[in-house]
Structure 1
Amino acid sequence: MVLAGIGIKELPSSSIILIEEEIGSIKGVFVQRTAYNMAKEGKKVLYISSTRSEDEVVNEMNLFKMEIPESMKLIGNSKAQLTLMEILNAEKAKKFLKNQNLDESVEDMYSFDVFVIDTYSYLFMDESFDRWLSSFEQILEIRKNENAIFIITTDVGVLEERVETTIRSLVDGIIQFKVDKTGNKVNRYMLIPKMKGLLPMDKIVPFKVTGEGILLDVRERVG
């Protein structure tokens, strides 16, 4: 688990975790490694990409020495909200997966433990608040009924401000990736203002991106 160095060995069960970044690729690296680790632990993971194909996600993960585990399934170029909700609905997912010509062995995997939606904001950037809320309420219901973990990524500023504020209030955890540019140097750091079951962190955590993914500099953390 990427966050193990700061005392978070696993994400809370039955939760929605929001991963925010001001336009960039760090959040993708984070959710891919997180999904990979959870799948390696035996959890059934469905990774949905709204902007990239399955092959592109695989290639990105291979750059960081990750091969897709059997318990992790990919669906790429998922640009339609209706399609997204069909995938997330446990009663419809089995039929959807079959129609996508995925391996027949996934027919019994219509109930997943973890859903990754990357990038969530892309799907709703032109929608009204009411239409977005109706869709998000379905995710809240699935989380409750299926005891599932949702990991959703957003680019800050893509969704209207009211939507972004409401998402932050409804989710169970928030992980923010930020960049500070000083001269010709780029400093990257992470902030976790909210996480179910934990006290809010009062310090930022610097990190670097290496060939293994995200490496936290825990020496900077106090408390």
Structure 2
Amino acid sequence: MLLKSLGLGELPDNSLLLVEEDLGETKSIFLQRLVLDYLKKGQKVLYISTKRSAEEILEEIGFIGSKGEEIEELTVHGDLESRESLVEICNSLSAQGDAGPVNICVVDTFSFLFMEESLHDLINDLKLLLKTSRKCNITFYLASDMGVLQGREEHILRSMVDGIIQFRTEYPAGKVNRFINIPKMKRVPPIERLIPYKIKEGTISPDTRERVG
């Protein structure tokens, strides 16, 4: 499984987790691979995209490994344009209680919904997501592009979530080094190192190369 291969272990259930990236689509690749793992475990997944259509998401997830047998457990909302639509989805999930229709909910990309929204709206919506995760036993993954939100909004977002996974890229001496950083994670001891990884053929795997410079 993806998490085990990267040395991350199991992530906490019923939590609000932030997946950040400074630039690129690695976070989406990571989340789509993670969705496949959850589907193979029999989990029900809701995938919300703010940048792609439902058809594109299904095609991308199928392209990276699914043969179609798990798709019955996957619901996709594409082209979500506003935070109000996300609030409506959360309220619908919350109304169904702890026997809700999904175990996992991905919002890719969460930060796009709040570029022109107030700090008040961001805080209230994060509180709603946290409440829904606890009440309905749902783990939320919020994808975010670093730098899209203002500094204060980013700090509040990071402070309110239960855990953070960051994809970082460095460019020393013309090379490309990619790392995963876990600055915080509920009920999980802090990882004292950056985890190097590589991307090949639409998959993420540990990078065991010796790094120099």
Q: Structure 2 length normalisation: TM-score?
A: 0.88
Secondary structure in 2 matching 1:201: coil
**Alignment equivalent of 2:123, drawn from 133, 153, 167:** 133
Q: Does the Cα contact within 8 Å between 1:6 and 1:218 map onto a contact in 2? A: no
**Alignment equivalent of 1:78, drawn from 72, 77, 80:** 80
Gap change, CA 1:188 and 1:8, over 3 Å in 2: closer
Q: Does the Cα contact within 8 Å between 2:168 and 2:178 map onto a contact in 1? A: yes
Rounded to whole Å, the distance in 1 between the matches of 2:133 and 2:204 is: 27
**Alignment equivalent of 2:133, drawn from 139, 143, 148:** 143
Rounded to whole Å, the distance in 1 between the matches of 2:131 and 2:95 is: 15
Aligned-pair CA distance for 1:89: 2.1
Gaps of 5+ in 2: none
- Determine the structure 2 residue equivalent to 1:192: 182
More displaced 10-residue stretch of structure 1: 7-16 or 34-43: 7-16
Q: For residue 194 of structure 1, what is the amino acid of its counterpart?
A: K
Q: Percent identity?
A: 37
More displaced 10-residue stretch of structure 1: 58-67 or 121-130: 58-67
Q: Is 2:60 aligned against 1:60?
A: yes
Q: Is 2:193 aligned against 1:203?
A: yes
**Alignment equivalent of 1:157, drawn from 142, 147, 163:** 147
Q: Does the Cα contact within 8 Å between 1:47 and 1:74 map onto a contact in 2? A: yes
Q: Does the Cα contact within 8 Å between 1:14 and 1:147 map onto a contact in 2? A: yes
Q: Structure 1 length normalisation: TM-score?
A: 0.84
Gap change, CA 1:10 and 1:72, over 3 Å in 2: farther
- Determine the structure 1 residue equivalent to 2:44: 44
Gap change, CA 1:67 and 1:86, over 3 Å in 2: farther
**Alignment equivalent of 1:89, drawn from 64, 75, 91:** 91
Rounded to whole Å, the distance in 2 between the matches of 1:111 and 1:52 is: 23
1:199-219 Cα shifts (integer Å, max 9, x gaps)? 111111111112251002368
Taking only aligned residues, the RMSD between alpha carbons, in angstroms, comes to 2.1
